[in-house]
Amino acid sequence: MSTTDNALLITALRDVLVGPLPEIGRRFSTLIADMAPHTSLVIFTRECTGRPRKVAGDPAVVDRVTIAELDRIRTDLTVGQIFRGKCAIAGRDREVLAMLDRTDTLLVLTPHPVPVKTASLELIQALFAVTATGIQLQVRNASPAYLAESRAASSERARTVAEMTEVHAATLETMLATLRSADLDDTRARTSARETAASALIGLRSAVDVHRELAEESTTTAFARMRGELRSLLKHREIALELVEPPVDGRGLPGEVAHGARAVVRGAVLALSDQQMLSRIRVAWTLDAASLSIDIRDDGGGEADVVDVERQLRSRVETLGGTVESESTPGWGNRISATIPLDAPVALPNRDVLTELAPREFEVLEHLVAGRRNKAISERLGVSESTVKFHVAGVLRKLGVESRGAAAAAGAEAGVKPAP
């Protein structure tokens, strides 16, 4: 490739990375379409608890591919391997092109019959490595837009699974009760039907378990991941890190809560560690049936601007329905605390929160869901920042919320897509 071609490719890759996370599969599909013509594309990552699949292309594939199928392909591959052959995907065996990145992110294509050159595959693998890392960084950063979208997706999936469980479990349990009745004489038929119904119940429970595995992270795992991130963050600083672990017997954390909590701790610790007179930072998590509480303290001289740190963290915490507070005592140190509810608030029934928005306010809300600030919104809409501030104020008032993060969460939960 020429220098010009390389420059164009890098620019195109940047466009893949900076857009809304839920649409990254479509953007990456467009990027590699000429290098590897394909009818469908799936990116699968367990980092994204709300939507682990990023897809583009043929609905017959992308709408039917299951987590179990993708997990089997991921398990069979080694990091860096490029696989070409047949795999069960979307309910039947298909020719696929698959590769697994070291971030544990999987790419699966259903290619056209046109053969793909080895050099093109190596280039696609390199582009996918950058894209997979970009996904990982977006998730770890846990922006308000990501958290809102993830919580909305997780809530919808949980609702669907719960409805499916109730309907099918009731049906199958009724079938089992009938088949156990002594009024039926054909023993062989009853045994066969009973085994079929029992297998169906096991399959249903497995589907629920998969949802829980994707949607939740054990508290000990979430805390251990945070420990590793903090030690990496402070490895070149002479600061003692004291970590108080949560109880091991508590309930699991919803994925977006785990991501959000780690992002809050990282942001606070990074800001506090800039103080000159500082030797220790203490981080504690406590958990009850309803919420996760985060407490971060230091022994600095109180010189950190904790009010500014609180302001920076507030949008993430409020997106998840939580609260954050800070205090500073000169000569004693600083404290930042946050409380995040484990469950999303129950939406009011039969209330469309978007009906009162004017067309321009709705456009602004789409950009809030995408996590953009006023300046970026004004540039994209071609209006002044003061006009954007006016519309943001109208959005907050009509949605009955007090922050941009809460507006983004309400918009995402109501089905508003992030503006490209």
**In this structure, are 228 and 205 located in the same domain?**
no
In a domain, 297, yes or no: yes
Which of 215, 243, 270 terminates a domain? The answer is 215
Print the domain residue range for 153: 145-215
pLDDT at 97: 95
**In this structure, are 152 and 135 located in the same domain?**
no
**In this structure, are 295 and 397 located in the same domain?**
no
pLDDT at 386: 86
**In this structure, are 232 and 317 located in the same domain?**
yes
Q: Supply the CATH number for residue 55's domain.
A: 3.30.450.270
Q: Which residues pair with 416 in a beta bridge?
A: none
Phi-psi region of 331 (alpha: psi -120 to 50; beta: other; left: phi over 0): left
**In this structure, are 58 and 178 located in the same domain?**
no
In a domain, 198, yes or no: yes
In a domain, 346, yes or no: no
pLDDT at 351: 43
- Split into its structural domains, the chain has a count of 4
Strand order, beta sheet including 106-111: 53-57, 38-44, 106-111, 92-100, 82-89
Q: Supply the CATH number for residue 229's domain.
A: 3.30.565.10
Phi-psi region of 302 (alpha: psi -120 to 50; beta: other; left: phi over 0): left
**In this structure, are 291 and 302 located in the same domain?**
yes
**In this structure, are 71 and 172 located in the same domain?**
no
DSSP 260-323: HHHHHHHHHHHHHTT-SS--EEEEEEEE-SSEEEEEEEE-S-S-S-HHHHHHHHHHHHHHTT-E
- State the helix-helix crossing angle for 24-32 and 118-141, rounded to 10 degrees: 160
Per-residue pLDDT of the chain (420 residues; tens, 9 = 90+): 677 878 889 899 999 998 778 889 999 999 999 999 999 999 998 777 667 889 999 999 998 888 888 989 999 999 999 999 999 999 899 999 999 999 999 999 999 887 777 778 999 999 999 999 998 888 877 777 667 667 666 665 565 555 555 556 666 666 666 666 666 566 665 666 666 666 666 655 555 555 555 567 888 888 998 998 888 888 777 888 999 988 877 678 888 888 889 989 998 998 888 888 888 999 999 988 889 999 999 988 777 888 888 888 888 888 888 999 999 887 788 999 999 998 876 544 334 566 677 878 888 988 888 888 888 898 888 888 888 988 898 888 888 887 787 788 778 777 777 887
pLDDT at 254: 85
Q: What are phi and psi for residue 26, nearest 5 degrees? A: -65, -40
In a domain, 268, yes or no: yes
**In this structure, are 18 and 136 located in the same domain?**
yes
**In this structure, are 202 and 256 located in the same domain?**
no
Alpha-carbon gap, residue 18 to 35, rounded angstroms: 22
Which of 93, 119, 141 terminates a domain? The answer is 141
Q: Six-digit token pair at 227?
A: 């420990």
In a domain, 354, yes or no: no
Alpha-carbon gap, residue 340 to 342, rounded angstroms: 6
In a domain, 353, yes or no: no
Q: What is the pLDDT of residues 325-366, one digit of tens each?
A: 999 887 788 999 999 998 876 544 334 566 677 878 888 988
**In this structure, are 85 and 168 located in the same domain?**
no
In a domain, 258, yes or no: yes
Which of 111, 141, 171 terminates a domain? The answer is 141
Q: Are 286 and 293 in contact (CB under 8 A)?
A: yes
In a domain, 57, yes or no: yes
**In this structure, are 282 and 253 located in the same domain?**
yes
**In this structure, are 90 and 184 located in the same domain?**
no
Q: Are 97 and 113 in contact (CB under 8 A)?
A: no
